[in-house]
Amino acid sequence: MTWRNALAGALAPAGGLTRLLSRPLGQNLLTLVALGLMIIVIAAPLDLEQQMLFTAACMAAALLLRRRANRLAILAMIVMSVIASLRYMYWRVTSSLGFENLLDMLFGYGLVLAELYALLVLLLGYLQTAWPLQRRPYPLPRDTALWPTVDVYIPTYNEPLEIIKLTAFAAQAIDWPKDKLNVYVLDDGRREEFRDFCAEAGIGYIIRPDNFHAKAGNLNHALKLTHGDYIAIFDADHVPTRSFLQVGMGWFLRDPKLAMLQTPHFFFSPDPFEKNLDTFRSVPNEGELFYGLVQDGNDLWNATFFCGSCAIIKRGPLEEVGGIAVETVTEDAHTALKLNRLGYNTAYLALPQAAGLATESLSGHIGQRIRWARGMAQIFRTDNPLLGKGLKLGQRLCYLNAMLHFFYGLPRLVFLTAPLAYLFFGAQIFQAEALLILAYALPHILIASVTNSTIQGRFRHSFWNEVYEAVLAWYIMRPVLLAMVNPKLGKFNVTAKGGVIDKSYFDWKMARPYIVVLALNVLGVLAGLWKLGFDPEVSVATVLINLTWTFYNIVISAASVAVAAEARQIRAEPRVYAELPATLSLANGKTIVCRTNDFSQRGIGIALPEGAHVERGEQLLVSLFRDNEECVFPAVVMFSRDGVLGLNFLELNLEQQRELTRMTFSRADTWAATWGQGAVDTPLGALAEVSSIGWRGLRLLSRATFVELRTRLRIPSLHLRSTPRNP
């Protein structure tokens, strides 16, 4: 499906236009006319008053279209945003680059290059997200004899056994004919307790003599030893629902050329941003935009990325491309690229059918993103999607945007420091009047912000992208640049999951770059105020524009600092919030009908009905229900207050652990009911939210600095008192 087909569908009520668009000549004519009009609008010379009127008209139209927010309105907003952005960039390169000295040239061209990068990513992003395919499950044949055989792979290296147990039990519980479902734990750690567990649980256990090519090598080794028609892959911490295969497998039977189907990565624990900023389930996390919208948009262009887990792959095509790619550290995306190059289709189903653990610490999160960034740069360098055979234009551009995304490190740092060039050194990075800069820049910035908010509102709130990128910019910049020079540099690193953080602390090492950027911008504000007060030759409007930009950078960098304040996390198995029917059977024979508040592998939270009470320390039986099925688990009350119980399960045998997983984590509706259901973005509300977090970051930094200074000042005196005197 092309954009022209999509547009024709949107305009279906206009019958004559639809018939015209259905013909190649009409499509080409429409394209030429549209491009001609766009060029005229982009290049039209306007004076200051005319440009301000143009800005006001565009903003008014964008706000009116935002209220409709249907597909046709979104396409119109995208067109307006593209015109406003290209018009700004045309003016920028033709009218604002007359630099008079080396300093202006250095800072000015640096900013222009960063702006060109941002514009390219913006345009490619619109291509990806303008028309999400919104694929729905395709029904399987009623005759289960026609259903194919599936091998479930669970690769592991250093994850604890308790994490593997949960995933393995859930994989066994998948609703699929048992003679056509085989579950395998692929243990690159070669641990005896894993072997024993698999033998007891009836799960296949596969090891290999080496660890070559890390996860990719582990999967490829298993590929040689198993024989299922399809392979479902789950990371060690990703727990599938019972409906996983029934929801996703139908598309393979409908499309013989389909080689891979990906489902979202959903996390039932908060990532470091959500945990440290206390935004879990209230603000979409960093990955939700990709899985909620970008992948759905990629699906329109047949360019869905394989993401390493929560996916189904057809064995034949996978073997045809030589198995999982081993040339880069992002073996998953590279594998999808290889499949697409051979003419196979890839698909995305935007329905969470598995959930896992997010990274616990900021350092672990950054390490994971470094690997992703390095791997995408390696693919860009060694298997560039713009080059080579087998890909259509839409596929090439989708892959290109995914790889260019991780080059944001240097441009983001440029944007965070650009106004300092003028405030510190007087560098004129714009050779134009201040009001004229505003007249051209504002529609570019504001219309793009409103358009992206309308498109992404469920999965990304405004201004949060700047926070995510600011935190990661310094750390991914070097690996990306090195990978472009030498793609063989770097190795696959396993992201640690399932750990705990015993106490809260401020991660000075991770925060150091943000603190430097924050300090520079604070100094920039002081320099700007000095210019306003004591430099009569400066342009007040120019200083105010740069000060406004600097204040915004302070908000973003201060919010980045707040992320480095690691919050305590004492649960290795996070609780999942869910209201499920339950019954408590007490030792005295009394029965209490109630509901759950949350659950984990080790315990469950219960909301008692009014008037009911259970004493702390009492042993009881808790029953969980699914349809007409009941499963009973022994437990002890660890907490009892205000009608809320905290229960810990007593020692459960293997079958009880399996049933507990099936009744909780494996429920088909466990994750889908909450995904993408948070508050929709409002730009002003998001700005207030990020500003509040920035203020919090300043307070946390002040407190951490005070504690650090107090600790350092105490060390010498304590040392002197503890040192024995010489006789």
CA nearest neighbour of 566 among 711, 360, 367, 286:
360
For residue 490, how far is the Cα from the chain centroid?
23
Task: Return the SS3 of 90.
Answer: helix
Angstrom distances, CA of residue 453 to CA of 129, 280, 405, 464: 12, 20, 19, 11
| DSSP per-residue codes, 199-246 | HHHT-EEE--S--TTHHHHHHHHHHHH---SEEEE--TT-EE-TTHHH
- The DSSP secondary-structure symbol of 681 reads P
Angstrom distances, CA of residue 115 to CA of 212, 234, 410, 414, 477: 41, 39, 11, 9, 17
Query: Which residue among the candidates 235, 237, 296, 332 is catalytic per the annotation?
Result: 332
- Residue 188 designated active-site: yes
Q: Which two tokens stand for residue 369?
A: 């993103």
- Say how far apart CA 280 and CA 674 lie, in whole Å: 12
Task: Return the SS3 of 576.
Answer: strand
Q: What are phi and psi of 309, to 5 degrees?
A: -155, 165
For residue 436, how far is the Cα from the chain centroid?
37
Q: Would you call 94 exposed, middle or buried from its count of C-beta atoms within 10 A (0-12, 13-18, 19+)?
A: exposed
Rg (CA), the chain: 28
Query: Which residue among the candidates 104, 187, 188, 507 is catalytic per the annotation?
Result: 188
Parallel, antiparallel or unpaired: strands 644-649 and 603-607: antiparallel
- Say how far apart CA 187 and CA 195 lie, in whole Å: 9
Contacts of 540 (CB under 8 A, 6+ apart): 532
- Say how far apart CA 204 and CA 214 lie, in whole Å: 20
The residues annotated as belonging to the active site are: 188, 332
